[in-house]
A and B are shown apart, each in its own frame.
Chain A
Amino acid sequence: MKLVIPGDILSDDVKRAGEGTYVASGKVYASIYGILDQKELRVIPLSGKYMPYTGDTVIGKVVDIIFSNWIVDINSPYEALLHISEHPERIDPCDMDRCLEIGDLIIARVKDVDATMRVELTLEKFRPLRSGRVIEISHTRIPRVIGRGGSMINLLKKELDCSIFVGQNGRIWINGKEDDIDLAIQTLLKIEREAHTPGLTDRIRELIERSKKRG
């Protein structure tokens, strides 16, 4: 694991150039500030805005209703559109605010992103999140919250007695008893802060056990 900054030469093998790199005059350079993944020759970002990809599941917030679309903020430079035809039943455009109001939070999947970054969403369940709480962390820390093969998220779900849903865009929905939610948020923020330090899963396990004994 090595920290790289933009402009660092990574390799001469142009064919292997992955994400977070660029190619110039037969060499591969880092294009972003992050950690080098030597195996796949890509740079894992440490900061930056969430960029939507087709197939991502995200937590969005309805910010406007226009024509036959809900405009959804997905914690990215680009707003996403949720079309009325995504609703399982035919509804009148005038009744859109009865299904989803401005301010509602939804769990959505990115259906399509085009070259001009027009983002289209689709919903699995057409209802907003009404209970629980949503927190926002940097999307670059999401892989750490999930852990290798889901090790971290499984630990959290098992130990915290909460249901947790992690969106790729850095928003996390937590539902359960208020005290459990408090502890969950505390834990998730610690993961965000210390995402780059080794042995984190063990420390998180300790933190949860200690808090539970006290509680």
Chain B
Amino acid sequence: MSDKPKKLIEKGKRLDGRKVDELRPIKMEAGVLKRADGSCYMELGGNKVIAAVYGPRAVHPRHLQEATQVIIRYRYDMASFSVEDRKRPGPDRRSVEISKVSREAIEPSIIKEYFPRSTIDIFVEILQADAGTRTVGINAASVALADAGIPMRGLVSSCAVGKVDGQIVLDLTGEEDNYGEADMPIAMTQDGKITLLQMDGHLTKEEFALAIELAKQGCKAIYEVQRNALVAKYKGGSYV
């Protein structure tokens, strides 16, 4: 990768010309996979992610099933061509951990009692990565679940905040993540309950409070995109 640039923020503008509280351009489409029960494709800046949902369906192996509720399985996977240097394909320590925290971020939104003894399988495939892939994965998975007709309390939206050049910024790019002081991915339900919070780096108490506020704004903006993606699927129909 390139060397550290002298300044990551100049005159209130970041390297890619964004303001500190601005998200990268987003593209989102629901129902892109024909053979999945629900699916979603999402782009956030340089991130390209596809999420597929299968189920509720019978659990294999059988001993994993629960008598009173559905189980959720989440697989976060990076394609070998998703990063600059080829990534060795298959699950590794990092993607296993991300799968776990992403599942826990999504799980509280699903009403699990409707489908005892079954499973919902979520597959998130990172086609191109540019910092914040787990947040994009969670956003796409949430829309794919709704697209699959699974009962939920609401959507989950997610974005990253961080500290770059001493300033709190929204939605870090790869460079800002590498050379910045902190990176903090957050996921929340639409009523503002936080379901994922990780932090790499250091923030003071005041900075942390500021970061949370900024993340709330970011998630709100992403929620609107998620909603539009679902509504657009049936545009041209007699309702909308």
Contact = CB atoms under 8 A, between A and B. Distances in A.
Interface of A: 1-3, 5-7, 20, 22, 24, 29, 31-35, 45-49, 51, 77-79, 115-117, 140, 196-198
Given A6-B153, A7-B152, A79 B234 contact: no
Given A22-B153, A117-B117, 20 more contacts: A1-B238, A5-B227, A6-B152, A6-B154, A7-B152, A7-B154, A7-B191, A24-B153, A29-B153, A31-B151, A33-B149, A34-B149, A35-B239, A46-B149, A47-B149, A77-B58, A79-B58, A116-B116, A116-B117, A117-B118
Contacts of A3: 230-231, 234, 237, 239-240
B67 interface: yes
Given A5-B155, A29-B153, A198-B238, A47 B56 contact: no
Interface residues of B, number: 36
Interface in B195-213: none
B238 to A, nearest CB: 4
Contacts of B56: 49, 77
A20 B152 CA distance: 10
Contacts, number: 97
A22 B149 contact: no
A61 to B, nearest CB: 15
Contacts of B230: 3, 5, 33
User: At the interface, is chain A mostly helix, strand, loop or mixed?
Assistant: loop
B55 A77 contact: yes
B146 A33 contact: yes
Nearest to B68: A116
Interface in B211-240: 227, 230-231, 234, 236-240
Given A49-B55, A77-B115, A32 B150 contact: yes
Contacts of A198: 237-238
Contacts of A196: 234, 237-239
Contact of B152 (A1, A32, A51, A197): A32
